[in-house]
Structure 1
């Protein structure tokens, strides 16, 4: 037995022992990975925020460098400050418009629930009479809603006992978000140096093949996520704006609130606009079933325009993922990670789709595909 064979046998034995240990302790290993991921949650969130803000930051930085000849560190700091202030200002403006209207709508709904129920009952009676079918009685539904609204006051004592726990969770979430934003600022400010350090470490400890594979994955990740995030944001803004303008023209209630909901839910591919539309129909049907029907027809037409004209130009062609895989990625991502999975499932699937496609084409070109 020569030296090469002894080394291969030793490697095989070591690999087998490690594999057996992993299989026997898989639950503990997964728990440790989950704990580590949770421990570094501010870093992951900060990296996502930095990635989203990278393009606006670079645009502002290059603009300032071409017009104001200051030090690079000053230009970077000013660019980050401008991008973050504009983003927070926009979020505050949206909340200032939506939250008061939402509170007023809920109060009006609670005060006029009987009127809304009568309106809906009359509309259903007209439909059942025209179709010559049995009458649909919603009195039990309205009574249930009235009981639920009345029970809110009775539960104040129970809710008060949980205020400390809820406050603790809120404070923990706020601290995590603040740390994430601070980390995102550091990542944006020092990303050039950080990438250089990662490259140096990789070249010292990893073989060239691993570095090549990593670079290919990173390039695909950067391309897909950049196209997807920018496309989804543009598509959501356009859809929300068109919905708001259309609702104003049709003189429908809750135009700002429903349009904001439609724009936010449009960030979820395919299913998002329908979720926002369902919320809009629910809000309008208690005011006027006719207005709810008008809104539903308008949204269906708007969805056709958006799906055939807007989405293909902003998102569809950019990520290059067939519709079947988009829907499958949404379902699997939503099942595994909830709303975050629905948002991240499509770009992750598009990245895998692109990497596998490149590998298949390379194998076919090199003649290494299995027959």
Structure 2
């Protein structure tokens, strides 16, 4: 048996590159359906809510579900189209103006550094020479032009992306419509492979995973969208430049717990310092107010306090997830850790219960629970 395991491990390591290539090909082939599963996961909650509202008008469950799927799908498509219709033109204008003014911002940065060097008697000639040798403005503009040229040549990829998006949406609609049958198929496979006891555990754990991920992902996306809009309109009211671009940066980075607000605010503040330092001060105060409002009002209303872990563990899971898998790990690290934490907690409670042990909160010693055998 050991020899067979060793041979399998050797073959696995020997053909690891072929295996990775095969897995990548399968994932690429299934991408539309994986995206469809993600969309179905996101839209299932709104569909259920809409279905419950429709059933109040004495409609049959089947008709209510069909109408709910149609309504939610139409609103989702209209929302995506409206967002792109409003956001994309404004974002392109902001990026165009930024690129055209970039050389001026670099010159202003050099002037600020020169002024600080003269004031505090610091020699920065080597730094300025490095700036001149790098020719940041020309390099940046060439990079943008090259990117635009590549984007124009990616028309086939854009068509491929649009096709995948349509297939993903259709797959999501079919998954939601046939949810009960798909779940029953999953249950049959689980109990057939693992039996009753392990099957029950997998079923309960799967429901917990669904609730945690659905609450966390949908809630965070909703919260980040709201924060992005507030930042966008706030920058317009405060007459800060590049309002659409700033709103997009803050909204996207706000998805990441703990570090997200800093990841979004720091580059924006640096940019505004180059344009006008007072803009940076105004934005810093504004974003501080927004983050306080988000942390104390908006996010608790959307997410609630149902993750069940402390701030330390959230920081820990975000740090470890980011170190292992980058931005995606920072985003998904919290719900994954919550599931691992709850599983270990349940296993520990079961183990202690089997050993008749109790660990009181106010004592450092373990107490053995007495089992009473009462006879009638």
Q: 2:287 aligns with which of 299, 315, 319?
A: 299
Decide which of 251, 255, 263 is 2:243's aligned counterpart: 255
Correspondence 1:19 to 2:10: no
1:180 CA drift (Å): 2.0
Structure 2 equivalent of residue 319 of structure 1? 307
1:200-246, CA deviations, whole angstroms, 9 ceiling, x for partnerless residues?
34334431122022113202202211221233134324433443454
CA distance in 2, matches of 1:94, 1:138: 42
User: Which residue of structure 2 lines up, in the alignment, with residue 8 of structure 1?
Assistant: none
Deviation at 1:57, TM superposition (A): 0.8
Q: Which moved more, 1:185-194 or 1:35-44?
A: 35-44
> Which of 219, 223, 233 lines up with 2:211 in the alignment?
223
Task: Please give the TM-score of this superposition, normalised by the length of structure 1.
Answer: 0.79
The answer to whether the 8 Å contact 2:94/2:244 transfers is no
Which of 82, 86, 104 pairs up with 1:93?
A: 82
Q: More relative contact order in 1 or in 2 (CA 8 Å, sep 6+)?
A: 1
Long gaps (5+) in structure 2: 358-365, 367-376
Could you tell me how far 1:189 is from its partner in structure 2? 0.3
- Matched position secondary structure for 1:112: helix
1:148 aligns with 2:144: no
Equivalent residues in 2 for 1:1-371, closer than 5 Å:
13=1, 16=2, 19-27=5-13, 28=15, 30-31=19-20, 32-67=22-57, 69=59, 72-124=61-113, 133=122, 141=131, 144-149=135-140, 151=142, 159=149, 166-244=154-232, 246-308=234-296, 310-311=298-299, 314-315=302-303, 317-367=305-355
Secondary structure, aligned partner of 2:135: helix
Task: Output the CA distance in 1 between the equivalents of 2:200 and 2:302.
Answer: 30
Alpha-carbon shift at residue 54 of structure 1 (Å): 0.7
- Structure 1 gap segments, 5+ residues each: 1-12
CA 237–105 in structure 1, closer or farther in 2 if over 3 Å, else same: closer
Q: For residues 368 and 170 of structure 1, what CA distance do their matches in structure 2 show?
A: 62
Question: What's the CA shift string for 1:25-63, capped at 9, x where partnerless?
Answer: 224475355544444333322212111111001111121
Deviates more, 1:356-365 or 1:134-143: 134-143
Shift of 1:291: 0.4
Q: Is the 8 A contact 1:258 1:279 kept in 2?
A: no
Structure 1 residues 22 and 293, CA gap change in structure 2 (3 angstroms)? farther
Q: CA RMSD in A?
A: 3.5
2:91 touches 2:244 (CA, 8 Å); kept in 1? no
TM-score (structure 2 length as normaliser): 0.78
**CA deviation vs aligned residue, 1:93-121 (integer Å, no higher than 9, x gap):** 22223322222223223333454345445
Worse-matched range after superposition: 288-297 or 206-215: 288-297
Decide whether aligned partners of structure 1 residues 42 and 155 sit closer, same or farther in structure 2, where only a CA change above 3 A counts. closer
**Retained in 1: the 8 A contact 2:36–2:171?**
yes
Deviations 1:310-335 (A, max 9, x none): 44554473212333433343344344
How far apart are residue 191 of structure 1 and its match?
A: 0.2
Once residues 84 and 187 of structure 1 are traced to their aligned partners in structure 2, the CA distance between those partners, rounded to angstroms, is 13
Is the 1:277–1:296 Cα contact (8 Å) retained in structure 2?
yes
Name the CA distance, whole Å, in 1 between partners of 2:35 and 2:325.
15
Q: Provide Cα deviations, 1:226-272, integer angstroms capped at 9, x if missing partner.
A: 22123313432443344345434533223343123212221111222
